[in-house]
Amino acid sequence: MILLETRNLSKTYAGARGARVQAVSEVSLRLDAGEVLGVVGESGCGKSTLGRTILRLTEPTSGQILFKGQDITALSLRAMKPLRRDMQIIFQDPFGALNPRHKVGHILAEPLIVQRVGDAESRRARVLELLDLVGLPPEAAALYPHEFSGGQRQRIAIARALALDPALIVADEAVSALDVSIQSQIINLIAALRRRLGLAILFISHDLSVIRHVSDRIAVMYLGRIVEMGPTEAIMAAPQHPYTRALLSAIPRAGVERGQRIVLQGEVPDPAHPPAGCAFHSRCTQAMDICKLERPPLLRHATAPQEVACHLFP
């Protein structure tokens, strides 16, 4: 069952001196119920904007968003409210995402209050259930966010996202603000909750090594566009796009010499003035003349299961 689908979704911002900044450009993807799709790319590639736009936290400029078969692209805020129960987000910074004036018990009960779910007694029971679900003691309900470590605060943020039993969660860099020793705990928690609750997750990260541990499929973004998308195993074993290969080469792996890393030259182009043709051609060592003139569409690769936007693979 297709839970979420986007069709040519774009988000443009107004830039300096009348320029238009294309943060997300004509992104088409689907997410099945219970599936995890990892979205990966360098900082500024548009992956966080994509997640927020899908949830209508940021309004799309063009394209369509379909959730459970319903076009939600132009729904009013009132019409979106009941759908919010089924689509939640985990933000990057757990401290900034939690109200420091409220105790954890109130923070977890607030989604239930806003959506008018249950009475006071059932909400208290749900709060204790959520704390247990993410591995926190019942006593945590009486404490404030500042009394917890970063990893514990992220567990609270995850518990809040689960409060209404959503079908979809957007995890926006959910572990990047945490220490490396804590990241694995949160990744394992998200993976366990996904299996237990049957969640569909759009997992956004700049770290391909994190993405590969939690995702069924991977979408690689560059300058607002998806350049490669397919099963995790296929992309990790045989990446087709030169940009994906560079990202993969940056992951430390046993048996791979340091000199084999692909170091990209130059900077990511200005999204307010993107280059003609393939946006990656200015940093690609395999660029051809056609790459400077024509933007390659995202098409199924002839001999691999993934889709690739590259003129090297017609």
236-261 pLDDT tens trace:
999 999 999 998 887 766 555 555 67
Q: Does the pLDDT of residue 299 top 70, yes or no?
A: yes
User: Are 302 and 313 in contact, with CB atoms under 8 Å apart?
Assistant: yes
Distances in whole angstroms, Cα of residue 173 to Cα of each of 51, 143, 286: 10, 25, 31
pLDDT tens, position by position, 102-157: 999 999 999 999 999 999 999 999 999 999 999 999 999 999 999 999 889 999 99
Q: Which residue has the tokens 């990209």?
A: 264
Q: Which of 241, 266, 183 is nearest to 41 (CA)?
A: 241
pTM, to two decimals: 0.92
φ/ψ (deg, to 5) at 288: -115, 175
Domains of the chain: which residue ranges? Answer: 239-314
What value does the mean pLDDT take over residues 228-242? 94
